[in-house]
Structure 1
Amino acid sequence: MNKRKKRSWGLIIITGALMMYLGTVLVKQQFIINSQRQQLKQIQENIEQEKELNEKLLRQKEEIASKEYSEKIARESLGMVKNGERVFVDVNQ
């Protein structure tokens, strides 16, 4: 009978230790999962921001390639005019 008590106590101790080990492993795993979910969320937000920036740059590229934009830059930056246009200069400024 004494051996049986020792065996049952040993089994209880081993089972308890195993359960504690599994508990700590599960908690650590949950922390890792939460951390990776947060990283995934941040990466998805970065992807959305980059997509918006890409769309903006594509619109700017189309605008820059247009004839109207070229004329605007030629007039404003280079002071160029079309043939036959009259240029008036305000001498009071």
Structure 2
Amino acid sequence: MGKRKKRSWGLIIITGALMFYIGTVLVKQQAIMNSQRQQLKQLEQNIEQEKELNEKLLRQKEEVASEKYNEKIARESLGMVKNGERVFVDVNQ
């Protein structure tokens, strides 16, 4: 019977060590999963921000390509006028 008790204590110690190891692995895995969930959430927010920026840039692109915008820039920045238009200059300014 002495050998049997020694074996059972050895088995208990090995089982306890194995359970402890499995527990620590599970805790570490949970921490990694939480970190990855946080990273995923941040990436989803970044994607949403980039989509909004992309939509804004597409609207600006359409605006810049319009004839009305080109005319506005030509008049304001370049001082151009249409044929037959008269330009009045306020001398008081």
Does TM-score exceed 0.5, indicating one fold? yes
Tell me what 2:39 maps to. Answer: 39
Q: Distance in 1 between matches of 2:5 and 2:92?
A: 110
Give me the TM-score of the superposition, normalised by structure 2.
0.94
Structure 1 counterpart of 2:81, which letter? V
Q: Percent identity?
A: 87
* Residues 11-51 of structure 1 deviation map (CA, whole Å, 9 limit, x = unaligned): 11011000000001001111111111111111111111111
Distance in 2 (CA, whole Å) between partners of 1:9 and 1:47 is 57
70-79 or 31-40, which deviates more = 31-40
Mapped to 2, the partners of 1:56 and 1:36 lie a distance apart of 30
List gaps (5 residues or longer) in structure 1.
none
Q: Which runs of 4+ in 1 moved over 2 A?
A: none
Match of 1:24 in 2: 24
Alignment of 1:6-25 (within 5 A): 6-25=6-25
Tell me how far 1:84 sits from its aligned partner: 1.9
Cα distance per residue 1:45-79 (max 9 Å; x no partner): 11111111111111011000100000000000000
Bigger mean CA deviation after superposition, 61-70 or 1-10: 1-10
Instruction: Count the aligned residue pairs.
Output: 93
Q: CA RMSD in A?
A: 0.9
